Amino acid sequence: MFPLARAAQSLVARGIQHTAVRGAHRKHEPTFHDKYGTIVLLGGASMFTAVWGYVFTSLNIEWGTSPVGRVTPREWRE
């Protein structure tokens, strides 16, 4: 059984070596991500910034202020 396992292991190793050599000699063609990846990333980042900038500026939120001492209760109407 041991020689059979060793033969199988060498066949697997040889197959991996052939695959690695075949991939190393293949000419690299640029994919979509190679061509447009940076442009798409920057476009998405600018859209994200623009949309959230619009949302934050249109909400009229006072940032970082505490209502302690400024909020007074209204008179109760019966």
- Model pLDDT for residues 21-71, shown as the tens digit of each residue: 666 666 678 888 888 899 999 999 999 999 999 988 887 766 666 667 667
Instruction: Please report the pLDDT score of residue 22 as a whole number.
Output: 67
Which one has a higher pLDDT value, 42 or 18?
42
Task: Provide mean pLDDT across the span 70-78.
Answer: 74
**Where are the domains positioned within the chain?**
3-59
Report how far residue 65's alpha carbon sits from residue 8's, in angstroms, rounded to the nearest whole number.
Answer: 71
Instruction: Please report the pLDDT score of residue 48 as a whole number.
Output: 97
Report how far residue 72's alpha carbon sits from residue 4's, in angstroms, rounded to the nearest whole number.
Answer: 87
- CA distance from start to end of the chain: 95
> 3-59 has which fold?
Cytochrome C Oxidase; Chain K (4.10.51)
Report how far residue 3's alpha carbon sits from residue 9's, in angstroms, rounded to the nearest whole number.
Answer: 10
- DSSP state for residue 26 in the 8-state scheme: S
Task: Provide mean pLDDT across the span 7-18.
Answer: 71
Q: Which two tokens stand for residue 33?
A: 């991500």
